[in-house]
Structure 1
């Protein structure tokens, strides 16, 4: 699990391939194929926030952000971000090239996690997450955010229509700055982590950090949907990124015992 200095003091971690595949894939929780995945998830959760309850969502590349609840894996709501102010809950987001974003307002005691692929990032999943954190008492200027392992610009080739559509959504075509000329005519290299970071900054977030990782290029450390697709592989692994608030009562009890 990787961590970010921007979230120092807040229990969190970004998964890697070395931690194992942690993707639920929409299978029922009693499916035998999920046993190793559940074991990997349990180890990661215990490493980040011992004794916490892991809560995730059924990700659909959308923009919905929900407040974390006590639902089971089989009853996960369709959403791509979640927030909480409840100690003892651990928020989990799955990615394999998309940007995992972990956020925390230490003063308010509010944390969030978002899955930001290009569709969600363009649609406003970052803004939805910030608004949800505000509803729980967070202040944008007090929020620190870290973007974890994501496909890098050098590895993310897109076509000209993609660039045109995205640039048109920005003010005065400002989104064009996230594209560099590609190696093929009519193609461009898209900076997804840079785009997500800009949405956070524009949203008023006080501190934004980006881990210098490329999930596509770093074969030994990361899973990659795009790499698996290019290689014709039937499946690919998922990283689990986690953030939560420690249960102070649990810590006090443990210390007393």
Structure 2
């Protein structure tokens, strides 16, 4: 089993995963709010350049180089937030050493991916919508295009809302489940998901509703790509049920986030 460790920086707690040990990385808690990735990168590696996106619950995965190109070109994909300009997307894959890539989450899954051989890394924001659009496989495909082999990847899924407390409609469950059980019949997909070993679905007392484990669906998507379960770690923390450490949109109905980031290795 992969272990998760609490670290502190100036007395504030954040999580790391043993699977990603060679890389500077962290799943940061609400205690770091309102720090931005620019401030948080100093915790991980002060010399790294910093990249984040305007997250839109899609499946666009970009490299820092592509961000710079899009910012230079301007256009619809660029969103101005105060003094800064952000490009829309939900996944970042590095293409050089010492690049820090970040995603923000409140109940969605932060996914950090590292390659033992090429040392490139990725940060992915995978909510149910992004998962239904297979954003993690998309990020892995981008890494493969840059020389990664599946067996060299190490993947950590950080704190997110747990299936036992995440009520969704059967329609949403079918949309997400369609990525692992392709079919055009919603009821059939939901029934087949229930039959899976360690099912990503749990029953819900309300008719037409189920409980959905989004991280489990992402793990199944990766298995279908040929990634072994030993290459994947899932944090034993639920954002909804751990109010002392994590913001939860479901719990608070407020737009607050925590950041997760990783720095590409400088071999």
Smaller-chain TM-score bracket: 0.7 to 0.9
Instruction: Return 5+ residue gaps in structure 1 as ranges.
Output: 22-36, 230-234, 249-257
- In structure 2, the residue matched to 1:214 is 238
Normalization by structure 1: what TM-score?
Answer: 0.81
Kindly report structure 1 stretches of 4+ aligned residues shifted beyond 6 Å: none
Aligned residue among 242, 245, 256 for 2:261: 242
Contact 2:132 2:178 in 1 (8 A): no
Calculate the aligned-residue CA RMSD, in Å. 2.0
Match of 2:173 in 1: 163
Q: 1:220 to 1:210 in 2, by over 3 A?
A: same
Residue of structure 2 in register with 1:227 after alignment:
251
CA distance in 1, matches of 2:86, 2:145: 21
Structure 2 alignment gaps of length 5 or more:
1-13, 72-80, 184-188
Alignment equivalent of 2:42, drawn from 38, 41, 46: 46
How many residue pairs are counted as aligned between the two chains? Answer: 226
Task: Say which is worse superposed, 177-186 or 4-13, in terms of deviation.
Answer: 177-186
The 2-side partners of 1:167 and 1:132 are apart by 23
CA distance in 2, matches of 1:90, 1:167: 32
- Cα deviations across residues 131-188 of structure 1 (Å, max 9, x unaligned)? 1101111111110100001001121011233334444551473444311111334321
Name the structure with the higher strand share. 2
Please list, as runs of the form range in 1=range in 2, the aligned pairs for 1:1-257 lying within 5 A after superposition: 1-21=14-34, 37-38=35-36, 41-69=37-65, 71=68, 74-169=84-179, 170-171=181-182, 173=189, 174-176=192-194, 177-206=199-228, 207-229=231-253, 235-247=254-266
Structure 1 residues 159 and 101: CA distance shift in structure 2, 3 A: same
- Contact persistence 1:87–1:246 (CA under 8 A): yes
Separation in 1, partners of 2:53, 2:167: 29
Q: TM-score, normalised by structure 2?
A: 0.78
